[in-house]
Amino acid sequence: MVRYGILGFGHHGERRLAPAFDQTKNSQLSGIWRRNQERARDNAQHFNIAHVFATPEELCASPAIDAVFVASPDALHSEHTLLALRHGKAVLCEKPLAMSASEAVRMASAARAAGRVFGVAQNFRYNSSLQRMRALVAQGTIGTPVFASAHFCFLSRNSPRTWINDGGMACGGPIGDVGIHAIDALRFLLEQEVLAIATLAQGLQSESPSERELEESAALSLEFSLGVLANIQVTFRAEYRTFIEVVGEQGVLTAESGLTVDRPVTILHHAAGTVLAQEVVSNRDAYSRMLDAFSAAVEGTGIFASTGEDGIQNQRILDAAFRSWHSGCRERIR
């Protein structure tokens, strides 16, 4: 049993992570830290968590913790990951991995030097919907892929994660917050790498200086290594929606709510205007499956689907997306 401590136990911890630990087989939530210690104690009582730590250092140094789940705001990911690694802990870090690719490289290098497992919490790689679509594409169900799409929308002003609208704490607006999920989902589904990206975006309308560098809506065009052209649309201004589509030479796969964990997902296979097959799957266990997969990697009995090394590539794509927004040019992935 791998014992986890969560750094930055906030809304995500309450809504997703703690309930997911209840459904795991080899992962235990043993401790938490959050800035509001009163809320932390309430969380610990509600979720039956054994330890509430006063500081990140105390959590990372504790012999009661085997692995640290970094769920703090984006700007703290590097600091908290390096702290955990210095104390010899395995680290599972939320997306986006860092504020830049250079930060992500330092984090991965520190993990290699420490000899510890380092992963990124790209939980959608454990979604049944994405795994099933990946298998169908690999089987040639729709022929050679030509186009792909991923959309992710939600209203950020209603989010309890108020820091996501703070340019000093968040790695961009929806590009970094949910666009990284869409980018990673297409890389995983297609089993191809992104060569170049072009970004159109609208800036966040705010008088606050901390928000001036953030976008609130964006459309990304991506070129993949085996010729697939893709578009990703993300926004903080529309009601919650996720969508995945792959167009092949011989058919199309679509999944409305394809990246959603709260409701069943219907995968449609259609061609020439006719639905040839449909399959309903559930993603409700994706977080639990991700946690147990990371635990297996920590114990040396399995391989984690989203390594820290792989996360560097996602961060390079994010860097290029932001460069493209400001340059107005298509940017190659460095």
Q: Does domain 2-121 have CATH number 3.40.50.720?
A: yes
pLDDT for the residue numbered 206:
53
pLDDT for the residue numbered 331:
98
Place domain 124-284 in its CATH homologous superfamily: Dihydrodipicolinate Reductase; domain 2 (3.30.360.10)
pLDDT for the residue numbered 118:
98
- The kind and range of the H/E element at 60 are helix 56-61
pLDDT for the residue numbered 304:
98
What is the domain partition of the chain in residue ranges? Answer: 2-121, 124-284
Sequence-distant (≥ 6) Cβ neighbours of residue 272 within 8 angstroms: none
pLDDT for the residue numbered 213:
75
Hunting for tokens 């790695």 — which residue is that?
Answer: 171
What is the Cα–Cα distance from 145 to 223, expressed in whole angstroms? Answer: 12
How far the first Cα of the chain sits from its last, in Å, is 39
pLDDT for the residue numbered 211:
46
What is the Cα–Cα distance from 94 to 117, expressed in whole angstroms? Answer: 14
Strand-pairing partners, residue 222, are: 197, 230
| 219: phi then psi, degrees, rounded to nearest 5 | -125, 125
pLDDT for the residue numbered 205:
60
Sequence-distant (≥ 6) Cβ neighbours of residue 123 within 8 angstroms: 261, 286, 287, 290
Mean pLDDT in consecutive groups of 10 residues from the start of the chain, 334 residues: 98 97 98 97 98 98 98 98 98 98 98 98 98 98 98 90 91 97 98 98 67 84 98 96 98 97 96 96 98 98 98 98 97 94
pLDDT for the residue numbered 158:
77
pLDDT for the residue numbered 157:
80
